[in-house]
Amino acid sequence: MGVPQIVGVRRFASIAILLIATGASMRGAADPMAKYGLVAIKPATATIYIATISMTFQPFVRHRTEFASTYSAKVFPYFFYNEKGRIWIVITDDELRRVDSGGSIDFTGHALSESGDERRVQGHVVPSGPTTGNIRVRVFVTRRISLTYYTTYVLEGAPAPEAAVTAIQAR
């Protein structure tokens, strides 16, 4: 008597999982902006007169018009100037549609180091393919000193749920 019940539960569970998975994939396919949910930016290097600054970013997670991430800046040879922090950039849906159609855009944002130093951020995006492109990120360290990083990006699609929650909590 218990065996037919188990078979029925398994069949129901299989159908429910299939429907949930199909619904999730259809939502992603219906939303053309879903591919902008997670954006990986390659590490980059900038130089000033006496130092080289290497910048690495965790993948940027999109929440409405804001992309959020963390960064790590390593200053060579002055390791005591190394810093870590959070960075946010603002790109509207209209600007993302422009990128989607192959156009370039400018963006603004800000960064906040773990020690509380706030920095203004500007940038420029030029797509080179459907999921890749070039990006220039300019970080204003002071009013007179800015660091400019030239690198590439890759669209990685929708973020995992825990990545989206972490990005929102970092705010």
CATH code, 144: 2.40.128
Same domain, 90 and 14: no
Give Cα separations from 88 to 52, 123, 164 (angstroms). 23, 12, 14
Same domain, 20 and 38: no
Same domain, 44 and 73: yes
Q: Check whether 169 has a pLDDT greater than 80.
A: no
- The answer to whether 40 and 156 are in contact (CB under 8 A) is yes
Same domain, 69 and 145: yes
Domain that holds residue 100: 34-170
Same domain, 5 and 74: no
Residue pLDDT, tens place only, 34-64: 889 999 999 999 998 899 999 999 999 999 8
Same domain, 63 and 41: yes
pLDDT band at residue 28 under the 50/70/90 scheme: very low
Give Cα separations from 77 to 72, 84, 146 (angstroms). 15, 17, 18
Same domain, 151 and 96: yes
pTM over 0.85: no
Confidence at residue 49, expressed as pLDDT on a 0 to 100 scale: 87
Same domain, 16 and 99: no
pLDDT band at residue 27 under the 50/70/90 scheme: very low
Same domain, 39 and 16: no
Residue pLDDT, tens place only, 105-117: 999 999 999 999 9
Same domain, 69 and 24: no
How far apart are the C-alpha atoms of 100 and 131, rounded to whole Å? Answer: 9
Same domain, 25 and 78: no
pLDDT band at residue 161 under the 50/70/90 scheme: low
How far apart are the C-alpha atoms of 122 and 130, rounded to whole Å? Answer: 23
Looking at the DSSP bridge assignments, the partners of residue 134 are 126, 152
Total number of domains constituting the chain: 2
Please return the burial class of 30, using the count of CB atoms within 10 Å of its CB with bins 0-12, 13-18 and 19+. exposed
Which comes out higher in pLDDT, residue 33 or 10?
A: 33
Same domain, 50 and 95: yes
Confidence at residue 11, expressed as pLDDT on a 0 to 100 scale: 54
pLDDT band at residue 157 under the 50/70/90 scheme: confident
